[in-house]
Amino acid sequence: MSYLALARRYRPDDFTKILAQNHITRTLANAISSGRISHAYLFCGPRGTGKTTTARVLAKALNCAKGPTSSPCGECNNCQEIKSGVSPDVREIDAASNRGIDDIRELRENVRYAPVSGRYKIYIIDEVHRLTNEAFDALLKTLEEPPDHVIFMFATTEPHNLPATILSRTQRFDFKRVPVNALAETVTDVAAREGLKIEPKAAILIGRKADGSLRDALSLLDQLISFSEGEVTMAAATEILGLVKTEFLFDLASAIVKHDVPGVMDMFNVYFREGSDVEQLADELLSFISKLLMIKNNVRETSLLEMDAKEIEKSAELIAEVDTADLLRMMNILGEFNINKKAGVDPVVAMEVALASLAGLDKSVEIGQILAGLKNPGHSYTTQRPATGTASKLSYNRPSGYNPAPPQYPSSAAPAEQPSTRTAGASIGPHDLAEINKWWPNFLEFVKAKSMMQWSQLHQLSLEGAEGNTVTVGYTDETLPLKNLLAQFKSSLDEHITEFSGSKTSISFVKAKMGNGKINNGNGAALDSAKAFLDNHPQIKQAIDDIDGSISGFKGSV
């Protein structure tokens, strides 16, 4: 007798053995028990998930000598004939090769005849979406009002290609992909029945490669049994299945996180010279980064991540300094690989571009932080260039306690004269006016955190000067109502500026001096800081050069 493949030998023969489709098998079993048997069923879902198998089991349940029953005996003549595919009452039709109107006309003629030995005449039509439109039209009337002894069972991977008139006349059941852990358990069980040992990680690799299909998983196990001698190891599974080694993915991701562009490219060149599949690398790396994203967001379930506890811990350490936003950007870059490949770009070139982009990826900064830094010179941005061959990284630092420190710039673009840092508690004197202009925006932000209402009025007035421990704020005819309102909260403002400066300080209101050269609203320092930041930041300068643009928009307030 010829060898029988594992996928056929271990094909489920009752509802309890159908894997990961409990929502379907339970519904069908209950329908049989209650006598609510439909005249037409539609089983749809990915390949290898049990659609045709479920149809056969349902056929046995309906025609079993002890039935209809949700637990067919599997021993009577009807069950044995259905299992062997020779039952005269159960006909399986491949719609891919019997898709014309003449085939359906023949079927319509045959449904009139009563079953030979069973209760029902059952037609299982596989890949039903392959029927022609004319064939569907010919089937429609029979499907809507079939003889009492006829039951149709349709199976398809593309239910969206079926006419609505067909869909509306069937009970639809959607099959799910079999989870990787369920596939791994089944593979391990089948291997044990075959007298073969299999490493747990190798079983997981088979489950991943099968992509939710039990048939594919058992076919892959068949292949590995032929390759292995007594035990299926992870190394053998990786080699035969063409998967990327987990260690290689960790090493590659580590080099990407460290912005080691030369290292990443060297690793890819070695991978390519070994004859490995470039597209497989893209898929595996994308899947790996998606798992890192889940780990970054505190997912630790081993079955979901398809990793053991040590690999999860190693992954968490790997991405400790990587933001969620950066992981999402990495996934987008790998998504662009598929776009470039479909556009006709050589896969090797597209992969090199993707890897270089991943390794050269700057750290993301929220736009709110950038805007805060532009509005407030007390916030600082620094561009830090890592080791040779790595990409630049933009980091953001905010002074604690609103300490009014000046903005920092790259050393090559630093202003000729850096302002001094004001220490809390220092006395405010007439000679400190220039310094007040620099830290006044920080104080406005301090007030904003305390009282949005007070800030919304105070920031529209102008800073006039300081004498002793009194800061004077100017108003015009247009802003007089704001001054009058703020005057009611003068004691609160005095408390705010005292707390901010560290010494007893008060605020007074005076008529603004027009054309005195002072910086109104305290925004001048922020504007200067913002302009200098944009002028001197290397990436922004590069972007301006790329688009042949210029910086503008500094006539108003920030």
Mean of pLDDT values over 418-440: 52
Read off the DSSP letter of residue 202: H
**Mean pLDDT score across all residues of the chain:** 79
What is the per-residue pLDDT for 381? Answer: 47
What is the per-residue pLDDT for 64? Answer: 93
* CA–CA separation, 124 and 151 (whole Å): 9
What is the per-residue pLDDT for 389? Answer: 40
| pLDDT band per the 50, 70, 90 thresholds, residue 547 | low
What is the per-residue pLDDT for 19? Answer: 92
pLDDT score of 207 more than 80: yes
Q: How many CA atoms lie within 13 A of 114 on its CB side?
A: 4
- 213 vs 546 pLDDT, higher one: 213
| pLDDT band per the 50, 70, 90 thresholds, residue 162 | very high
Ranges 74-88, 328-342, 412-426, 476-490: which has the least confidence: 412-426
Mean of pLDDT values over 534-546: 62
pLDDT score of 410 more than 50: no
| pLDDT band per the 50, 70, 90 thresholds, residue 428 | low
Q: How far is CA 556 from CA 106, 335, 441, 528, in A?
A: 82, 41, 15, 12
Calculate what percentage of the chain has a pLDDT beyond 70: 79
Strand, coil or helix: 488: coil
Contacts of 217 (CB under 8 A, 6+ apart): 48, 178, 183, 186, 187, 206, 207, 209, 210
* CA–CA separation, 69 and 66 (whole Å): 7
| pLDDT band per the 50, 70, 90 thresholds, residue 461 | confident
What is the per-residue pLDDT for 124? Answer: 93
pLDDT score of 545 more than 70: no
Given 3-state DSSP classes, what are the helix, strand and coil percentages for the chain, each rounded to the nearest 5?
A: 55, 10, 35
* CA–CA separation, 247 and 252 (whole Å): 9
Mean of pLDDT values over 402-430: 40
* CA–CA separation, 455 and 447 (whole Å): 6
What is the per-residue pLDDT for 324? Answer: 87
pLDDT score of 306 more than 90: no
Domains and CATH numbers, the chain: 6-174 (3.40.50.300), 180-241 (1.10.8.60), 246-359 (1.20.272.10), 430-522 (3.30.300.180)
How far from chain centre, in Å, is Cα 138? 45
What is the per-residue pLDDT for 170? Answer: 92
What is the per-residue pLDDT for 520? Answer: 45
With CA atoms as reference, report the closest residue to 48 among 162, 166, 195, 182: 182
Answer for the pair 505, 494: CB distance below 8 angstroms, yes or no: yes
Mean of pLDDT values over 53-82: 92
For 88-129, strand residue ranges (E) read: 90-94, 121-126
What is the per-residue pLDDT for 393? Answer: 35
* CA–CA separation, 355 and 264 (whole Å): 7
State the Rg of the chain over Cα.
37
Q: How far is CA 351 from CA 232, 235, 326, 328, in A?
A: 32, 25, 19, 18
Mean of pLDDT values over 238-251: 85
pLDDT score of 395 more than 50: no
| pLDDT band per the 50, 70, 90 thresholds, residue 420 | very low
Answer for the pair 512, 474: CB distance below 8 angstroms, yes or no: yes
| pLDDT band per the 50, 70, 90 thresholds, residue 391 | very low
pLDDT score of 392 more than 50: no
| pLDDT band per the 50, 70, 90 thresholds, residue 466 | confident
What is the per-residue pLDDT for 122? Answer: 93
Q: How many degrees, rounded to 5, is the angle at CA 252 between CA 246 and CA 258?
A: 135
Tell me which range, 118-127, 201-210, 365-374, 432-441, is most confidently predicted by mean pLDDT: 118-127
pLDDT score of 535 more than 60: yes
What is the per-residue pLDDT for 531? Answer: 56
pLDDT score of 40 more than 80: yes
What is the per-residue pLDDT for 450? Answer: 81
Answer for the pair 509, 349: CB distance below 8 angstroms, yes or no: no
Tell me which range, 51-65, 227-241, 528-542, is most confidently predicted by mean pLDDT: 51-65
* CA–CA separation, 11 and 63 (whole Å): 19
One-letter amino acid for residue 459 of the chain: H
Residue 471 CB-density burial (10 A; 0-12 exposed, 13-18 middle, 19+ buried): buried
One-letter amino acid for residue 195 of the chain: G
pLDDT digits (tens, 9 = 90+) for 263-296: 999 999 888 888 888 888 998 899 899 999 999 8
- 531 vs 243 pLDDT, higher one: 243
